[in-house]
Amino acid sequence: YPGCMLPGLNNTLARRDFIDFGATDEQITEAMNNYMETGQPIFSLGFSEPGAGSDNQAMTAVTRKQADGTYLLNGQKTWVTQGEIFPNVLVIAKDEDPARENRSMSMWIVPKDTPGLSTAPLHKIGNQVAAFCEMYFDDVVLTEDMRIGEPGKGFLNLMKNFETERCLIVAQCIGTAQA
């Protein structure tokens, strides 16, 4: 069944994202150990937003630095593949200001059980191989060790992800059409 390609697609993207986006040695080790034990990636990808579609500049999820050095994450993500199953989510959010003009975005690895993070299943027609969900971030506290890569470089990382993701999705669609 061509739809069973989806778990492989997620595994490939998650591992590549983590390594390419500048995860620390500790983050990579934890992710690989988890993968060796479970066969699943350590995180889902929380990139899409309900009001943004493919217009990534329209994203409004935002992190704001607090006086104590932590960050507060607020916003919503949708179409998070396996978001209710995997133990973490890799989130992209704007730094400090959700305005469309703000191109400074960062990536964060957020444990699914972090206070303020909640999920809701996303019901869809077809493609039932993998569950999708929506994620809500309400004053989720982030620390600097949860950041993936350089501050403000998340948008460039996202575009790099899409280069690979879109090629893999095209291959999946061609296989499905041929089948």
Q: What share of the chain is helix, strand, coil (3-state, %, to 5)?
A: 35, 30, 35
For the segment 35-63, what is each residue's pLDDT rounded down to a tens digit?
788 877 788 889 899 989 778 889 999 99
Q: Quick one: pLDDT at residue 96? A: 97
Question: Which has more confidence, 150 or 66?
Answer: 66
**Catalytic machinery residues:** 165
Asked if 45 and 158 touch (Cβ cutoff 8 Å), the reply is no
> What pTM was estimated for this model as a whole?
0.83
Q: Quick one: pLDDT at residue 112? A: 95
Average pLDDT, the chain: 85
